[in-house]
Structure 1
Amino acid sequence: MKNKHLKILLSAPRGFCAGVERAIEIVEKSIKKFGAPVYVRHEIVHNKYVVDDLKNKGAIFVEELEEIEDRTRPVIFSAHGVPKKIPEDAKNYKMTYIDATCPLVSKVHREAENLHKAGYHLILIGHQNHPEVIGTMGQLPEGSIDLVQNEDEAKKYKPQNNKKISYVTQTTLSVDDTKDIIQILKDRFPNIKEPMKEDICYATTNRQLAVKNIAKKCDLFFVIGSRNSSNSVRLVEVAKKSGCSNSLLIHSQSEIPFDLIKDSNIIGISSGASAPEILVNNFINELKNKFTVSIDEVEIIKENVVFKAPKKLN
């Protein structure tokens, strides 16, 4: 197979976004400042490689604060955001906490609160049980925000009261799918209030555009990322919809499908916003072991967004 030539179209931008970089930096700086262990509530970002690396450095991951045995140690909240109740619980436990919520998720939280205060009933477009959705819904009193997950639910949605309605969205959704759901809601509720600025984050949008740009030229498309990473799963869907029906997620347990690859001439590669570049390099190296590879990086936009870690960690 070694003399089989394989052309790789490498999607850019890909991989870490500013919110993920900041969250990882917060864990690393916390370990440096407070010593090990530090606790992290929920996976800091949805990637096994990143989580394992931080465990080796001294982070202990828990799902709930109640699991933390030594409450003199600091706890970090994940990039996905947490319900209001969690920081309150941490205060009651007299715990030091550091919030690594992505600033773009925090923006949605503030937006939801302001709309609620202004007398709106809210719709959140998102995926049930995703930590970001749990966090956003947890900013408001029970019953004041409803989840709509797809077009079907948007068509059937019935407001529970006669309040004005508005919507916000999860930051890691597919831009196109969300657009269709929003259109249904706008057709049904012409006065629905929309966010001042798009909620779907810049990194999600850019990565989806980059994949769209090359998918139709590819025989096979791979997205490097975790199964529980919403933005990675969306990238696979975007590649399929954009003309490459053979699109797959490569996660930590994946076997590389060499039999499919050997029947392909052009393959596309991208990675989710929580997947480190080393995983992309490792994947490409596996291909280089078996094929003659040429790589063409196709960049549609330069990203220069940086979110700084809290000053108290310096």
Structure 2
Amino acid sequence: MRLVTFDDGKGARVGVLDGDAIRDIGAPDMLGLIAGGAAALEAVRGKLATAPVVTGARLLAPIPRTPKNIFCVGKNYHEHAKEFAGSGFDGGAKEVVPSYPVVFSKPHTAIIANGEPILSAMDPTGGLDYEGELAVVIGQGGRGISKADALAHVFGYTIVNDVTARHMQKRHSQWILGKGLDSFAPMGPAIMTADEAPDPTKLTLTTWLNGERRQHAPLSDLIFDIPTLIEAISAHITLEPGDMIATGTPAGVGIGFNPPKFMQPGDVVRIEVPGIGVLENPVV
């Protein structure tokens, strides 16, 4: 299933995408549905055939406010790690390919929905960049989750654009002030439930800027795969239902060009993961 959060003027609630139509399944919020586990999903499937189609609805971010900051992973594709190391924006890091996952975060105030604008004015330094990423949505939470058990803790998958102000990222070294700005976490359009992708390494991610393909990679290219990321984070931080881990971006970001190709007002960035859909946002 592809689950969405929508608003048709009667308040935000959860629906299921049936083709291009939204079916109202009567769930008030995504976090509550996720916390309900397998039983809640089975109840949704039972309602689906008779769930009414909603008209005039606007998609919101699937999880408009995550339980914690979004966990994000840097330098997690081999080719992107190389292009970042050679870009001059890596803050003097000694390792091209990290020995351990590089984890930072984005606050919920950065989250915007499919179609909503990325605010270029939030970056006064003129270094606005895109990073298409697959994000993991945690279902059953826990601490000390092993790699062997990790995928059983995944509720589903969505798309996140890890928008970045590159000069600010370099200036502050700690990345939250380059990556956590308002509107810098486009998310959506839907959460694809984990049963639709029993082997997430078979998923692919593609990013276009103004119709030009910039990024394309299979998830099998990750340096640290999804079970490794869940194990590494949960070893120290309790994961909760609805927590989100953005798994990293492939090569092809703006700073990978010489000179860099930063986003400008009027640009449109489009990210697709087949099965989840398309996340598209204008830059204003």
TM-score (norm 1): 0.23
Of Structure 1 and Structure 2, the greater strand share is in 2
TM, length-normalised to structure 2: 0.24
More RCO (CA 8 Å, sep 6+): 1
Structure whose residues are more often helix by fraction: 1
Structure with higher Rg: it is: 1
